[in-house]
């Protein structure tokens, strides 16, 4: 059974459960701007960049963020980036963009994204996502090398200040 079918069953059983569509809307409006700020993204003047509804239509209260994202990516010129997007990718990484959050397979709304929208975003983010995966792979390899060095006695465990 697909995850979306399980979610639909859960929603029918629990009318208080939120759909993936509503979960993405909550995430975009309540968490995402703070995550971007916490990542340290700066504007040209050096002040913190925080996405606001004036510049990011997904944040507007009169729209559902998932519906708006699908609408935006249905436009012919969807691949045109904005200064905010460029700043986020350059300073924090593609994983802090709403586009990446939308298609992240580990998110509860992943099955609610139409295949055409997902494909367009994946194609657009391709090189940035590949760079992210490469960094994550290199990080895992470094961690594993340190673990192996510790096990083999080639590296001593770091002493913590209270030890």
DSSP character for 18? P
Region for residue 93 given its phi and psi (left: phi exceeds 0; alpha: psi -120 to 50; beta: otherwise)? left
* CA proximity to 150, closest of 158, 138, 159: 158
In tens, the pLDDT along 114-149 reads: 999 999 988 888 887 788 778 888 988 998 998 998
Contact indicator for 150, 60 with CB cutoff of 8 Å = no
In tens, the pLDDT along 94-114 reads: 899 999 999 998 899 999 999
What average pLDDT does the structure give for the chain? 84
Number of helices and strands in the chain (H, E) = 7, 0
Q: What is the pTM of this model?
A: 0.71
Query: How does residue 16 score in pLDDT terms, banded at 50, 70 and 90?
Result: low
Write down the domain spans for the chain.
Answer: 18-152
CA distance 64 to 58: 7
């Amino acid at each position: 059974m697909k995850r979306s079918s399980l979610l639909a069953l859960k929603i029918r059983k629990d009318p208080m459960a939120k759909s993936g569509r509503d979960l993405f809307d909550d995430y975009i409006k309540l968490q995402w701007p703070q995550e971007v700020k916490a990542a340290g993204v700066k504007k040209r003047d050096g002040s913190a960049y925080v996405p606001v509804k004036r510049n990011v239509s997904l944040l507007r209260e009169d729209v559902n963020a998932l519906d708006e994202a699908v609408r935006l990516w249905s436009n012919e010129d969807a691949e045109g980036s904005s200064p905010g997007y460029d700043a986020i990718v350059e300073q924090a990484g593609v994983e802090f963009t709403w586009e990446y959050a939308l298609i992240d397979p580990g998110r509860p709304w992943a099955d609610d994204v139409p295949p055409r929208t997902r494909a367009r975003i994946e194609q657009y983010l391709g090189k940035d996502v590949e760079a992210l995966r490469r960094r994550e792979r290199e990080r895992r390899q470094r961690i594993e090398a340190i673990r192996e060095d510790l096990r083999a006695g080639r590296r001593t465990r770091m002493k913590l200040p209270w030890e």
